[in-house]
Every structure is written in structure tokens, then in C-alpha cells.
């Protein structure tokens, strides 16, 4: 259904651009609202971490590639940055059975990503962090609504 790409500075101010980019293309592809929101929430988590930590204390660039496939329907998001190497899949999942005040700080966003997405992969190639997430979805339909 298409491949789309966004490259810009990884700043918190550009989060709105990332969200609009995803919402536009996922909506046009017929991705159901619930799946769109899960994808956007996960993308926000990834993007905010890049903006906050990848280049700290400086600012750098990021690329977001969105590939939407039709059979089966799925969205693949690939975040690329050349900041500090960080593999979120190496992080231990937080113990969510503990009361909030007893938990270690961090890790909930990565756990959420694992729960909401169908596939997650990370690699560091040629000084670039490459984080891919895939979400499968059923194409939204208006059949039977009228």
C-alpha cells in the first residue's frame, strides 16, 4: 500500500509532525482507529526517547520509515538515528506486580511496546540505531454500518 519516509531534527517540538505523518498515512490505508492509536502511542514512546536521550546534550536527526502492506495488513515503522547505541530489547521488563513506589524508574514504555506490537527488532549498523516495530491490523470497513 505504500512506503513513506519522514526525516527531521529529533526534537520534542517535532512530535506533532511525527503524529500527523502517522495518522495521515495509517488513516488513508484503512487502519482501524484502535490500531492507529496503539501505533501512535508506541511511536511517541520511541520518538521521545530518541529526542531526549540519543544525542544528549546535543540534537541530531532521525528518520521514520513507514511501510504499509496489504496482505496481510500490517504497518512497519522503522526509526533510524545515529545517536548513542541503545537496544531497548536488552532492558529487563519492570516488575509491574510491585506497588508504583517500589518499582525501579523506567522500562514501562518498552513493556508497553512489547505488549502492543506484533514484532520488535533492533540493530546497530554503521553507527545507526535501527528500531523496527510491526503492527498487524484488519482493514477498517464501513460494510454493515448503513
Residues 21, 24, 30, 33: is their CA dihedral positive or negative? Answer: positive
The whole-chain average pLDDT of the chain stands at 89
> Would you give the distance in Å from CA 96 to the centre of its chain?
22
Task: Round to whole Å and give the CA distance between 70 and 60.
Answer: 33
Residue ranges per structural domain of the chain:
2-136
pLDDT in tens, 75-120: 999 999 999 999 988 877 656 666 766 656 555 678 888 999 999 9
CATH number of the domain located at residue range(s) 2-136 in this protein: 3.30.565.10
Amino acid at each position: 500500500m505504500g512506503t513513506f519516509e519522514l526525516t527531521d531534527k529529533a526534537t520534542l517540538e517535532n512530535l506533532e509532525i511525527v503524529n500527523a505523518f502517522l495518522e495521515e498515512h495509517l488513516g488513508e490505508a484503512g487502519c482501524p482507529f484502535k490500531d492507529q492509536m496503539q501505533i501512535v502511542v508506541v511511536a511517541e514512546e520511541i520518538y521521545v526517547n530518541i529526542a531526549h536521550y540519543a544525542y544528549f546534550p546535543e540534537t541530531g536527526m532521525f528518520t521514520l520509515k513507514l511501510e504499509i502492506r496489504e496482505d496481510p495488513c500490517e504497518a512497519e515503522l522503522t526509526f533510524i538515528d545515529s545517536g548513542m547505541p541503545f537496544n531497548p530489547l536488552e532492558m529487563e521488563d519492570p516488575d509491574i506486580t510491585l506497588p508504583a513506589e517500589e518499582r525501579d524508574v523506567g522500562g514501562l514504555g518498552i513493556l508497553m511496546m512489547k505488549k502492543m506490537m506484533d514484532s520488535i527488532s533492533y540493530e546497530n549498523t554503521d553507527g545507526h540505531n535501527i528500531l523496527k516495530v510491526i503492527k498487524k491490523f484488519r482493514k477498517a470497513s464501513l460494510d454493515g454500518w448503513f
